[in-house]
Structure 1
Amino acid sequence: MAIAGLALGLYLVFQPQNPAIEHGSAAAGMLFFARGIFATVAARRIMTILAQKTFLFELRDRRRVAELAKANQRLELLARTDPLTGLANRRRMTETLSRIWGSDKRCLDGAAMLMCDIDHFKKLNDHLGHAEGDRCLVEVARIILENVRRDHDHVAPTAAKSSSCFCPG
């Protein structure tokens, strides 16, 4: 802006003093030069505004992508977790079994599966109600989880009344 103003000022000072140019031509030249300076300054300002808007849009898009990734992670967790016990659900159990008995090299030494059945669970549900049955399932899941010792062991409910513990290797 300052350079444009200085250039226009110099042009306005020296152009009318040029004896080789008529005053009408000098005035027309000054107007033409002034319009060019104005257009250059305006274009530069517009480019700056567009660059700032582009930057803000990119920031917004990055934030939206991060929010979407976070939402997808939550959905993935919900899709693989039993809502009552917080254990991995049957889908996760099936994926884990496929991985363990499929291409996982840790399975070369073998794998073990423990299935637990809660005796008389239906009677407990019928006699004390489903809320008490749910508390029983949560407590059984907690006890099993407390006793899983290795990071690659998995616990998942396989039905409404049982849990499975997968212990690869």
Structure 2
Amino acid sequence: MQSTSSASHHSSQSIGHLYSHHHGWLQGWLRRRLGNAADAADLAQDTFVRLLSSGPGEPPDFTTPRAYLATVANRLTLNLYRRRSLEQAYLVALAQTPQELAPSLEHQALVLEALDEIDQLLALLPAKTRQAFLMAQLEGYTQEEIASRLDLSVRSVQRYLARAFEECIVLASQCAA
């Protein structure tokens, strides 16, 4: 049996090998897909950072390295687009705010950071849990209305909302620490 530090070292070596042999390909692939060299470079780098920070355990199976890297990069690309969409929605709302009520640049940056953290949290929730939570919080639907619209029992909606709130509490406690 391999020790944790030995497995971690082996995993780092594997990722280093993967980086040296496939980073250029991944960056080019992303550049063609995104049409933006800067975003492609950032996402290629983020892909390898994600692999390095994946934690202890079994190293990923790199038998099809390009498919594996493309999958990780695709997820990061979706995260990037979702974050930019969220930021754009905030900026549109901010543009409609009278100048005298507009928050400071520092406050705006803090709000964008908080929105990004909430978005990351919501992305981890199962689809129905996320949908029920957003319907309740953003659209003001009652539990009965959510149950009807999602074809669920009220009890299921209650469980979904409780789970989403638990995750929000965990996020809030991590931010406060």
The TM-score range, normalised by the shorter chain, is under 0.3
Q: Larger relative CO (CA 8 A, sep 6+): 1 or 2? A: 1
**Normalising by structure 2, what TM-score?**
0.23
Tell me the TM-score normalized by structure 1: 0.24
Q: Whose helix fraction is larger, Structure 1's or Structure 2's?
A: 2
Hey, which of these two has a bigger chunk of strand by percent? 1
